[in-house]
């Protein structure tokens, strides 16, 4: 996995083109700019004028023309929705070749599907997640059959500017989609219920929000830095016969852990069912 301090050396002198300037496309552009990549190296194509304006404010050169970006790019990031991918590739594939690294962040579109349409191009598939928008993302990458070590380093530098990166065989992508791709929604679901419970107990909304946010932030920091597994940390908080134990017993009676695991498995199954092979 890459460290938080990412080297942009593999991207030096390369033009990076984004086909799609939506939430994730702009998040990656913002991460690259914050890491110090010059705006002159970044291009973005999007039919939506508002999306182009967002990318332009981040320093990228923008256009509505897919082919213009595809022909200029050394690294081409496919950041469109899956239903748009076939049309985008139909425009782009005449401009790309072995000299281009193509990186797809589209959920469910497999390397096999991409490689069939770009037979001579090194292709890398990525599963990012929403926290990339604040440069705290987690991305898994899987390399196609033509992608070499230098191509993987390019992908790691690009994604690493917005968070952590790990290499993962594509067979694990349904699982990582369920765990980290969908993962932020699980946390927000919990936070929403947590806030509602706090309000029901009479806490002012602002106090409830601040207490929960700081508790989450501090608890995650303690887990990541303290070297203890979650079960050991739970024992540090839960005294015999105390308030925390009462809550944990209620969670156990409601089979909260089992339901969470079942939900994650359901997400993985849905990822598999939606895959473009």
CATH no. for residue 96?
Answer: 3.40.50.720
Q: Quick one: 188 and 261 in the same domain?
A: yes
**Total domain count for the chain?**
2
Q: Quick one: 168 and 82 in the same domain?
A: yes
**64, 46 contact by CB (below 8 A):** yes
Task: Tell me the pTM.
Answer: 0.92
Average pLDDT, the chain: 95
Alpha-carbon span 156 to 235, nearest angstrom: 38
Alpha-carbon span 30 to 46, nearest angstrom: 16
Is residue 178 included in any domain, yes or no? Answer: no
Is residue 1 included in any domain, yes or no? Answer: no
Is residue 3 included in any domain, yes or no? Answer: no
- The pLDDT assigned to 1 comes to 52
Is residue 4 included in any domain, yes or no? Answer: no
Alpha-carbon span 253 to 157, nearest angstrom: 46
**162, 135 contact by CB (below 8 A):** yes
pLDDT digits (tens, 9 = 90+) for 220-261: 999 999 889 999 999 999 999 999 999 999 999 999 999 999
CATH number of residue 241's parent domain: 1.10.3730.10
Is residue 250 included in any domain, yes or no? Answer: yes
Q: Is the pLDDT of residue 34 over 90?
A: yes
Q: Is the pLDDT of residue 145 over 70?
A: yes
At residue 82's C-alpha, the angle toward residues 78 and 85, to 5°, is 55
Is residue 2 included in any domain, yes or no? Answer: no
The percent of residues above 70 in pLDDT, for the chain, comes to: 98
Alpha-carbon span 49 to 72, nearest angstrom: 21
Could you say which of 173, 192, 227 is where a domain stops? 173
User: Residue 66 belongs to what domain range?
Assistant: 9-173
Q: Quick one: 124 and 218 in the same domain?
A: no
Q: Helix (H, G, I), strand (E, B), or coil: what is residue 78?
A: strand
Per-residue pLDDT averaged across 141-157, rounded?
97
């Amino acid at each position: 996995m890459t460290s938080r301090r990412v080297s942009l050396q593999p991207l030096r002198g390369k033009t990076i083109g984004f086909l799609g300037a939506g939430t994730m496309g702009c998040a990656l552009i913002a991460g690259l700019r914050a890491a110090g990549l010059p705006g002159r190296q970044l291009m973005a194509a999007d039919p939506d004028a508002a999306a182009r304006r967002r990318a332009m404010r981040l320093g990228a050169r923008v256009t509505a023309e897919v082919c213009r970006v595809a022909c200029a790019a050394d690294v081409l990031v496919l950041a469109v929705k899956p239903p748009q991918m076939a049309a985008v590739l139909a425009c782009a594939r005449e401009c790309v070749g072995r000299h281009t690294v193509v990186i797809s962040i589209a959920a469910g579109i497999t390397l096999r599907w991409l490689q069939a349409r770009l037979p001579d191009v090194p292709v890398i598939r990525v599963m990012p997640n929403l926290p990339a928008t604040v440069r705290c993302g987690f991305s898994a990458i899987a390399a196609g059959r033509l992608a070499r070590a230098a191509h993987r380093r390019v992908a790691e530098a690009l994604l690493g500017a917005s968070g952590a990166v790990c290499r993962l065989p594509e067979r694990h992508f349904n699982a990582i989609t369920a765990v980290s791709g969908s993962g932020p929604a699980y946390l927000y679901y919990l936070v929403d219920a947590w806030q509602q419970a706090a309000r029901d107990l009479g806490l002012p909304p602002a106090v409830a929000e601040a207490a929960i946010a700081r508790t989450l932030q501090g608890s995650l920091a303690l887990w990541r830095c303290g070297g203890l597994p979650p079960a050991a940390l739970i024992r540090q908080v839960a005294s015999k016969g105390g308030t925390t134990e009462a809550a944990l017993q209620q969670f156990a009676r409601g089979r909260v852990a089992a339901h969470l695991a079942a939900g994650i498995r359901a997400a993985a199954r849905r990822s598999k069912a939606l895959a473009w092979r």
